[in-house]
């Protein structure tokens, strides 16, 4: 009996060590387990520059509903963002300002089944006082009018080309910008007399510029697609963010900013 007791006492430290390592399977998880399975998470969203205001608002809504989650945005030209994704930039969601820029990503099999969530229309943006007295699209063809456009390879630039072609106009811009925010800034600073930007950006300027509607804009409306990315580091959160954008709550935020329903 003494021999059996001695063996039991000798084995006790080993058993206790194993219990400590496994956490007994029922109490609080060990520190290593908690670090591996929980903790703060980040959701990375690549989105067109024209979505800056609305997506920032939706990001705060998402964070409030998902404690411990931080939404990181990369806003910019959809064409540039698409190239970054194809080149391996880590991201969970891509929201583009045109189907053509989304196609760059889907053709690389990095996203599937994008959904169109809003549409956007161009306006002529002029400084609030409109010193050049721009009234309609044909005024932009006047060489005396300094015009800013988005570069043709980005969605706002491609839309501008369509609109000008529909009007049969040739416009020579003094600058070509890489995204719509940079184009609008030229007007806000008074560096140009006019620019073709999205209606939503005119609204977001909060009175710094005046928007002028023109009929040819109807021939150059941009559809905005959104998709989760196939290599999303947090795929579950990516899907939930897309669901928020597509929800009625998301639509309310977007239409309030001037976007149109698809």
Ordered DSSP codes for the chain: -HHHHHHHHHHHHHHHHHHHHHGGGTSSPPHHHHHHH-S-EEEEEEEEGGGHHHHHHHHHHHHHHSTTEEEEEEEE-HHHHHHHHHTT---SEEE-SSHHHHHHHHHTTSB-S-EEEEEE-EEEEEETT-TT---SGGGGGSTTS-EEEE-TTSHHHHHHHHHHHHHT-----SEEESSHHHHHHHHHTTSSSEEEEEHHHHHHTTTSEEEE--GGGGGSPEEEEEEEBTT-TTHHHHHHHHHHHHSHHHHHHHHHTT-B--
112 domain residue, yes or no = yes
Assess whether 126 and 113 both reside in one domain.
Answer: no
Same domain, 200 and 132: yes
| Same domain flag for 167 and 89 | no
**CATH code of 201's domain:** 3.40.190.10
Ranges of the chain with pLDDT below 50: 1-38
Q: Are residues 215 and 135 in the same domain?
A: yes
Q: Which domain holds residue 192?
A: 122-219
Domain membership flag for residue 3:
no
* 151 falls within a domain: yes
107 and 140 housed in the same domain: no
Tell me if 199 is assigned to some domain. Answer: yes
> Are 114 and 238 in the same domain?
yes
> 15 in a domain, yes or no?
no
Specify if 245 maps to a domain.
yes
Asked if residue 196 belongs to a domain, the reply is yes
My answer on whether 229 and 110 are in the same domain is yes
Regarding whether 146 and 58 lie in a shared domain, the answer is: no
From residue 241, give the alpha-carbon distance in Å to each of 42, 73, 256: 12, 12, 19
200 and 148, same structural domain?
yes
Q: What is the reported pLDDT for 40?
A: 73
In the chain, the number of structural domains is 2
pLDDT number for residue 167: 97
Do 107 and 232 belong to one domain?
yes
**Residues 149 and 199 placed together within one structural domain of the fold:** yes
Does the residue 164 lie in any domain? Answer: yes
- Phi-psi label, residue 132: left if phi above 0, alpha if psi -120 to 50, beta otherwise: alpha
């Amino acid at each position: 009996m003494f021999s059996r007791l001695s063996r039991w006492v000798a084995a006790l430290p080993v058993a206790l060590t194993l219990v400590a390592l496994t956490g007994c399977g029922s109490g609080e998880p060990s520190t290593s387990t908690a670090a591996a399975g929980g903790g703060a998470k980040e959701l990375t969203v690549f989105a067109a520059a024209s979505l800056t205001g609305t997506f920032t608002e939706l990001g705060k809504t998402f964070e409030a509903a998902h404690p411990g989650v931080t939404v990181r945005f990369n806003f910019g030209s959809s064409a540039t963002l698409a190239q970054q994704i194809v080149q391996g930039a880590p991201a969970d969601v891509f929201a583009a300002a045109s189907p053509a820029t989304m196609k760059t990503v889907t053709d690389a099999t990095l996203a599937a089944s994008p959904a169109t969530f809003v549409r956007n229309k161009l306006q002529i943006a002029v400084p609030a006082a409109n010193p050049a007295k721009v009234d309609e699209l044909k005024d932009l063809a006047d060489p005396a009018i300094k015009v800013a456009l988005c570069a043709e390879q980005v969605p706002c630039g491609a839309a501008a080309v369509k609109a000008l072609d529909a009007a049969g106009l040739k416009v020579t811009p003094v600058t070509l910008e890489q995204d719509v925010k940079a184009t609008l800034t030229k007007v806000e600073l008074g560096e140009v007399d006019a620019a073709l930007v999205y209606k939503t950006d005119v609204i977001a300027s909060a009175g710094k510029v005046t928007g002028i509607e023109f009929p040819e804009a109807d021939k150059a409306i941009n559809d905005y697609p959104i998709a989760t990315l196939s290599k999303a580091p947090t795929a579950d959160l990516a899907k939930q963010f897309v669901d928020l954008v597509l929800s009625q709550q998301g639509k309310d935020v977007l239409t309030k900013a001037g976007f149109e329903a698809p």
